[in-house]
Amino acid sequence: MNKKMLTLLFVCVWISLNASDFLCLKENIPQKQESLVIDKGQLILSSAQRETEFTITEGQTVVYQGNQGEISLDEGTYQVKAYNRFFISQTKSVSVKKGKKALLSFDLAVYEKETIHNVEKYQYRTWAGLALTAANILFIINADKKGDDAYQNYQDTAVSAMALDYKSDVKKWDKYQLISSISLTLPVYFTISSYRNFLKNKAILKEKV
């Protein structure tokens, strides 16, 4: 084998052994500067109240809705609305710039006066509903007793005219008892509904503490 062949073989072996290092070196070459440019800004949202939802709009367009704390946005001016079912909603304006971070925090006002008013209102309604329910039950019991007494008198009397009167009384008290039993559902429903609203508003006050 002549020198030329040996030289060519040596070059081929060297290239094969160092090809991987060459590729790695190529991968480590920095990317073009354009790809490193950040074309969006970051908006960081926070709220002193838990479970706050955010709605971000640009003009009339909603660009984000949720409770995420950090959002990537194009450069521009946005309106951010913070919503929480226990508090008064609040809206703020913020400008976002490319490659920059904007911070926006909320501390929502509470509906404390309105909630306290609702607690007192539904507590009063609960007691009123209980009173109406109790009165209705007492009337049913009394009508039942009156009907039994009228029926007993109807059986005991020997005077036909009085018997007719007692029979009429039996029908009357049975009718009253039936009507009152049906109408009992109204104060019962009113009481239960008022009590549930009372507990709901009490829970809201407790959440705010």
Residue finishing a domain among 74, 106, 138: 106
Residue 68 belongs to domain spanning: 38-106
DSSP state letter for 33: G
User: What integer pLDDT is reported at residue 4 of this predicted model?
Assistant: 46
Q: In terms of pTM, does the model score above 0.85?
A: no
Task: Mark the ranges of the chain whose per-residue pLDDT is less than 50.
Answer: 1-5, 8, 11, 19-37
Q: Are residues 72 and 158 in the same domain?
A: no
Total number of domains in the chain: 2
Q: Are residues 93 and 170 in the same domain?
A: no
Q: What is the pLDDT of residues 85-132, one digit of tens each?
A: 778 788 999 999 988 999 999 988 776 777 788 888 999 999 999 999
User: What integer pLDDT is reported at residue 132 of this predicted model?
Assistant: 92
Q: Are residues 85 and 141 in the same domain?
A: no
| Residue 66 located in a structural domain | yes
CA-to-CA distance for 192 and 131, rounded, in angstroms?
Answer: 13
User: What integer pLDDT is reported at residue 15 of this predicted model?
Assistant: 53
According to DSSP, the β-strands at 101-106 and 41-47 are: parallel
CA-to-CA distance for 82 and 54, rounded, in angstroms?
Answer: 5
